[in-house]
Amino acid sequence: MDTEEFQIWSRRAADWGVAYRDTLRERPVRPSTRPGEIAARIASSAPEQAEPMETIFADFERDIVPGMTHWQHPRFFAYFPANAAPVSVVAEYLVSAMAAQCMLWQTSPAATELEIRVIDWLRQALGLPDGFSGVIQDSASSATLSAVLVMRERALDWAGNRAGLSGQPRLRIYCSDQVHTSIDRAIWVSGIGEENLVRVPTGGRWRSMQPAALEAAIEADRAAGFLPAGIIASVGGTSVGGTDDIAAVAAIAGRHDLYLHVDAAWAGSAMICPEFRHFWAGVEAADSVVFNPHKWLGAQFDCSIHFVRDPESLVRTLAIKPEYLKTHGKDGVVNFSEWTVPLGRRFRALKLWFLLRAHGLEGLRAMIRDHVRWSENLAARLAGQPGIEIVTEPMLSLFSFRHQAGDETRNDEHNLALVSAINDDGRIYLTQTRVDGRVAIRFHAGQFEATEADVDMAFDVITEIAGRMTGQGGQWN
């Protein structure tokens, strides 16, 4: 591709992206394809000779786009969003064009220094104290793995990387049953092992770790010869928003000299609104915190902020400094590859810089407040409909509900069929979970360009399809 073609196709791609976003409401949120259907349209081996871009682009539009789930659709109410505000997309065009490898200060000084600055912008926006610095990770999974590795090294007096875990005391990590499965993976990958992840009982409206049970588990493990290493607390668990009492957990971590990591991957974005910060009161005592601007703030994936109170512990755990990666003749530089598991790093700070400047904190706060209010209103409306039970009340903009089948023994089967029917309909997209062993349907408002009308449509679709499935003929009032 020469310069002229590069210009033509760059413009074509940008124009396509604008048209795509403008027509999302006309598309089903999720495709109605069968497994293998897309693969059958793709050649079984790579071409030997170059093909024209016109052909490639036409195949993309014909074969690929119809098989995509549209994560930027305003009625994507499943999982949590992977938002990409248009200004973030523009920034990513520039990042892709430069294609910088930002592993060291010297490999892109502006990338490193911008990352330091935007992380501090976000620290201030979230109300975290001056003592926190941080790094942009690809995802909360990587941030949590890094935190678990620090827990491991700190508990073993920094001998784990050197000597391995053989012959060492069995380490223990504590969390609730509401945490994301990325915690399980971090325990696997770190070598600590699933059997040493202690699930602490939860209770109350927010399904919080019970402080007395947590402390009892730590003391029992010590008495049994285990080595407690750290605690992972949750603010806004993936299933239904499980949220721990961070202040109480931090006090226990302090008494037992344990590292505390707070996973606020989705809900952390809401802390730019001061009125929501009660959900993580006490967070200033944590050793590390993660939240994902790529979920609710509008930064294109991947973009996860990993705050740490003591970066030296993180660097001591992860840094390897061969001669070819040293920055000579420069004092006081930060090499973020020493703060992460991967050595290679993308220029993730640029989209945050564009996003925060283009929308301002007040613009982002308004969006989050709208999502919370719309979700609360939807939950209240659904609660007033016959046969619908609100299973978990809204935690910010996430709640769960269940529709009664008439026969209690069929409720799980009925609700799985209901969520499938809703998603096959195509107008909205929801996901299911289990609450106390029973199926419930999750609703989450968080898509960057959603409107109140989009959330109102969720009410229409849910009640219409539930009514049809139970023979009530249609939408309720």
We report the CATH number of the domain holding residue 48 as: 1.20.1340.10
305/291 Cα distance (integer angstroms):
5
- Give yes or no: residues 329 and 381 share one domain: no
**331 falls in which pLDDT band (50, 70, 90)?**
low
Q: What is the mean pLDDT of residues 411-425?
A: 94
On the question of pLDDT at 475 being above 80, the answer is no
Flag whether 238 is in a domain: yes
On the question of pLDDT at 474 being above 70, the answer is no
- Give yes or no: residues 245 and 390 share one domain: no
**φ, ψ (nearest 5 deg) of residue 400:** -135, 155
Q: Roughly how many angstroms between the first and final C-alpha of the chain, as a whole number?
A: 58
Burial of 15 (0-12, 13-18, 19+ CB in 10 A): exposed
- Give yes or no: residues 133 and 192 share one domain: yes
**325 falls in which pLDDT band (50, 70, 90)?**
low
Give Cα 427 to chain centroid, integer Å: 24
Instruction: List the structure tokens of 477.
Output: 């009032």
- Residue 405 has a pLDDT of 81
Q: Please state the length of the chain.
A: 477
User: pTM score, two decimals?
Assistant: 0.90
Q: What is the mean pLDDT of residues 252-274?
A: 96
Flag whether 183 is in a domain: yes
Range of the domain at 446: 360-469
76/84 Cα distance (integer angstroms):
13
Instruction: List the structure tokens of 64.
Output: 């690929």
DSSP state, 76? B
Flag whether 193 is in a domain: yes
- Give yes or no: residues 252 and 364 share one domain: no
Q: Which of 300, 286, 311, 297 is nearest to 146 (CA)?
A: 311
- Give yes or no: residues 187 and 317 share one domain: yes
Highest mean pLDDT among 248-257, 397-406, 464-473: 248-257
Q: Which of 68, 464, 133, 128 is nearest to 313 (CA)?
A: 133
- End position of a domain, from candidates 318, 346, 374: 346
**413 falls in which pLDDT band (50, 70, 90)?**
very high
Strands 227-234 and 388-395: unpaired
- Give yes or no: residues 107 and 130 share one domain: yes
305/352 Cα distance (integer angstroms):
11
Flag whether 132 is in a domain: yes
Flag whether 248 is in a domain: yes
- End position of a domain, from candidates 346, 378, 404: 346
**332 falls in which pLDDT band (50, 70, 90)?**
low
Burial code (b: 16+ CB inside 10 Å, e: under 16) for 265-304 equals: bbbbbbbbbeebeebbebbbbbbbbbbbbbbbbbbbbbbb
**214 falls in which pLDDT band (50, 70, 90)?**
very high
Number of independent structural domains in the chain = 3
- Give yes or no: residues 45 and 117 share one domain: no
Give the CATH number of the domain where residue 121 resides: 3.40.640.10
**329 falls in which pLDDT band (50, 70, 90)?**
very low
Can you say whether the dihedral through the CA atoms of 20, 296, 123, 189 is positive or negative? negative
- Give yes or no: residues 414 and 384 share one domain: yes
- End position of a domain, from candidates 346, 375, 399: 346
Burial code (b: 16+ CB inside 10 Å, e: under 16) for 307-321 equals: bbbbbebbbebbeee
- DSSP state string for 91-160: HHHHHHHH----SSTTT-HHHHHHHHHHHHHHHHHHT--TT-EEEEES-HHHHHHHHHHHHHHHHTTT-H
Q: Indicate the Cα dihedral angle 389, 395, 398, 400, nearest 10°.
A: -20
- Give yes or no: residues 163 and 289 share one domain: yes
Give the CATH number of the domain where residue 398 resides: 3.90.1150.170
Flag whether 225 is in a domain: yes
184/199 Cα distance (integer angstroms):
11
pLDDT, the chain, mean:
91
272/183 Cα distance (integer angstroms):
25
- Give yes or no: residues 249 and 325 share one domain: yes
Burial of 164 (0-12, 13-18, 19+ CB in 10 A): exposed
- Which H/E stretch holds residue 208? strand 208-209
- Residue 324 has a pLDDT of 47
Flag whether 44 is in a domain: yes
Flag whether 50 is in a domain: yes
- Give yes or no: residues 379 and 289 share one domain: no
- Give yes or no: residues 393 and 264 share one domain: no
